[in-house]
Amino acid sequence: MEVLYSSTRGDGAPVGASQAILKGLSEDGGLFVPDHIPALDKSLKELSEMDYKQVAYEVMKLFFTDFTGEELKTCIERAYDEKFDTELIAPGVEAMGAYYLELFHGPTIAFKDMALSILPHLMIASAKKNHIRQEIVILTATSGDTGKAALAGFADVEGTRIIVFYPKNGVSPIQEKQMVTQKGANTLVVGIHGNFDDAQTGVKKIFSDKKLAEEMEKKGFVFSSANSINIGRLVPQVCYYVYTYAKLLGEGRLKEGEKLNVAVPTGNFGNILAAYYAKKMGLPIGKLICASNENKVLYDFFRTGTYDRNRKFVLTSSPSMDILISSNLERLIYHIAGDDADTTKKLMAALGGQGKYEITAEMKAQLGDFYGNYADETETAAEIRRLYEGCGYVTDTHTAVASAVYQKYLKETGDKTGTVIASTASPFKFTRSVMNAIDQKYDSMGDLELVDELSALAGVKVPRAIEEIRTAPVVHDTQCDVDKMQDTVKEFLGI
Ligand SMILES: *Cc1c(COP(=O)(O)O)cnc(C)c1O
């Protein structure tokens, strides 16, 4: 059955997947949502005999119904190849009673690679299908990981350009180095004088500027988004939940129909929303454990039914979760309102105006599958240490937030259901925070020295992505104020 996509805010006619992928964001500022969530049409037993790419195909074909099987398979082949350091693509490690799903084996060693290695191919295929002749300009705001993963995905892809805005003082040194060393004549990396929300708001503003869009079109450009709001990123993330459940079933670690909880370190709400979609497809997922750091706006939301971004923005050791507006939550709001665009539009207008909104009791009752909690900086560091001292497994700070929250969930509920913890970054990406959590003595060592220490301590080879930036030259040094983002874009495109 065909799946069509319409805006969470109701404007415009429903479109096919390829058009939703090209547009990224709907013209009314809403996010594209499927008109129904398709059910898995293969049994989990059948899926358990497939490899990652085959499972990815079985999931994507159900959502991207206007692509041919051949087109999808080509995209999948190009995405999940030797760029990943394991053929499993998304391997898992059992540690201290939980299953850590390692989503960081791609080119930039963070989970964004899972979707951003396929998005450029989905976009090029979509452009061809829709007879688009303009150059696609990808505009992205990043809190660190998206930027590099998008740059790596789009660099030198013919017919595309990519511009990445990041908060100049809001990403880790390694994240920054990864971005500013990005090669590719079609790439631009800009540090803005503001935080991630400023960057995201600025990008949204550029997207919704009709005058600019007209100018662009005349010059042969069209904007698109690689941010996690793009449906072409959300759906590829559903795949690894299906793959993991099927794999655990195949290995006899789960019985047929047995529930599996999922704990996700959450920022923009994309990863956990993918797990929610997987559950709606019929995957036996139990609780969706939504983990926040000290920017605990989601924890407060799940507890009270009020989303309130009016609070202090905290810089933490898990910068990819330092977010006060979780864009993808809009999709969940839409679904729990009964796929109601009018309600969603009103609530989002309140968020834009007063910076907060409250959902109805009826909507709140739909959130029973979710459990929200948070871990502060001390708890996160303690969790890294607990896992290391307990079994020698070293996690990054984001994963540790989810792991610490899972421990809180266990204590509160006693729920013994098997649990997958989404492990979203390699510890090598946040080496200093990770090593300091294990022992303060590392604080005096240099960054590169620490990388070798971590490698020895964890018994893991230094990833290729880190080896590369040790020697790569800086090629981007553009900075701008928040109100100059549009000018910077125009300059790069020569318009
Ligand atoms: C992006 C990111 C997250 C947050 O994921 P969302 O889909 O935005 O909720 C968590 N951890 C890491 C390492 C990330 O890069």
Residue 430: give its domain's CATH number.
3.40.50.1100
> Is-contact 438 385, C-beta < 8 A?
yes
The length of the chain in residues reads 495
Q: Is residue 403 part of a domain?
A: yes
Which residues, including other chains, have CB under 8 Å from residue 160's CB and lie 6 or more apart? 120, 123, 124, 135, 136, 137, 138, 154, 186
Structure tokens belonging to residue 175? 């994240």
292 membership: H or E segment, kind and range: strand 285-292
266: Cβ below 6 Å to ligand 1?
Answer: yes
Please give the tally of structural domains in the chain. Answer: 1
Q: Is residue 31 part of a domain?
A: no
Which residue in 351, 337, 274 sits closest to 307, CA to CA? 351
Which residue in 126, 138, 119 sits closest to 16, CA to CA? 126
Burial 176-202 (b: 16+ CB within 10 A, else e): bbbbbbbebebbbbbbbebbbbbbbbb
Nearest CA to ligand 1 atom 2: 320
| Best probe residue, ligand 1, of 31, 100, 111, 233 (max atoms within 8 Å of C-beta) | 111
Q: Is residue 432 part of a domain?
A: yes
Q: Is residue 50 part of a domain?
A: no
Is beta strand 98-102 parallel, antiparallel or unpaired with respect to 419-423? parallel
Distance between CA atoms of residues 140 and 119, nearest Å: 13
Q: What is the pLDDT along the chain (495 residues), one digit of tens a residue?
A: 899 999 999 999 999 999 999 988 898 989 999 999 999 999 999 999 999 999 999 999 999 999 999 999 999 999 999 999 999 999 999 999 999 999 999 999 999 999 999 999 999 999 999 999 899 999 999 877 788 989 998 998 888 999 999 999 988 887 899 999 999 999 999 999 999 889 989 998 998 899 999 999 999 999 887 877 899 999 999 999 999 999 999 999 999 999 999 999 999 999 999 999 999 999 999 999 999 999 999 999 999 999 999 999 999 999 989 999 999 999 999 999 999 999 999 999 999 999 999 999 999 999 999 999 999 999 999 999 999 999 999 999 999 999 999 999 999 999 999 999 999 999 998 999 999 999 999 999 988 899 999 999 999 999 998 998 888 999 999 999 999 999 999 999 998
Going from the Cα of 6 to the center of ligand 1, the distance in angstroms, rounded, reads 25
Distance between CA atoms of residues 84 and 396, nearest Å: 19
State the sign of the Cα–Cα–Cα–Cα dihedral 75, 81, 87, 88: negative
Q: Is residue 483 part of a domain?
A: no
Q: Is residue 211 part of a domain?
A: no
Q: Is residue 69 part of a domain?
A: no
**Domain residues for 278?**
92-109+232-462
Q: Where do runs of H (alpha helix) occur along 208-290?
A: 210-218, 231-250, 270-280
Residue 112 appears among annotated catalytic residues:
yes
| Best probe residue, ligand 1, of 145, 164, 331, 401 (max atoms within 8 Å of C-beta) | 145
State the closest ligand 1 atom to the C-alpha of 424, by its place in the atom list counted from 1: 13
How far is residue 296 from each of residues 45, 270, 322, measured CA to CA in Å? Answer: 38, 16, 9
Which residue in 302, 308, 323, 310 sits closest to 356, CA to CA? 308
320: Cβ below 6 Å to ligand 1?
Answer: yes
Q: Single out the catalytic residue among 23, 53, 112, 247.
A: 112
What pTM was computed for the model? 0.92
Structure tokens belonging to residue 339? 């796929």
Structure tokens belonging to residue 317? 């050791």
> Is-contact 145 290, C-beta < 8 A?
no
Q: How many CB atoms lie within 10 A of CB 253?
A: 14
State the sign of the Cα–Cα–Cα–Cα dihedral 457, 241, 273, 176: positive
267: Cβ below 6 Å to ligand 1?
Answer: yes
Going from the Cα of 110 to the center of ligand 1, the distance in angstroms, rounded, reads 8
Q: Is residue 395 part of a domain?
A: yes
Distance between CA atoms of residues 16 and 292, nearest Å: 33
State the closest ligand 1 atom to the C-alpha of 271, by its place in the atom list counted from 1: 7
State the closest ligand 1 atom to the C-alpha of 429, by its place in the atom list counted from 1: 13
Structure tokens belonging to residue 367? 């959130």
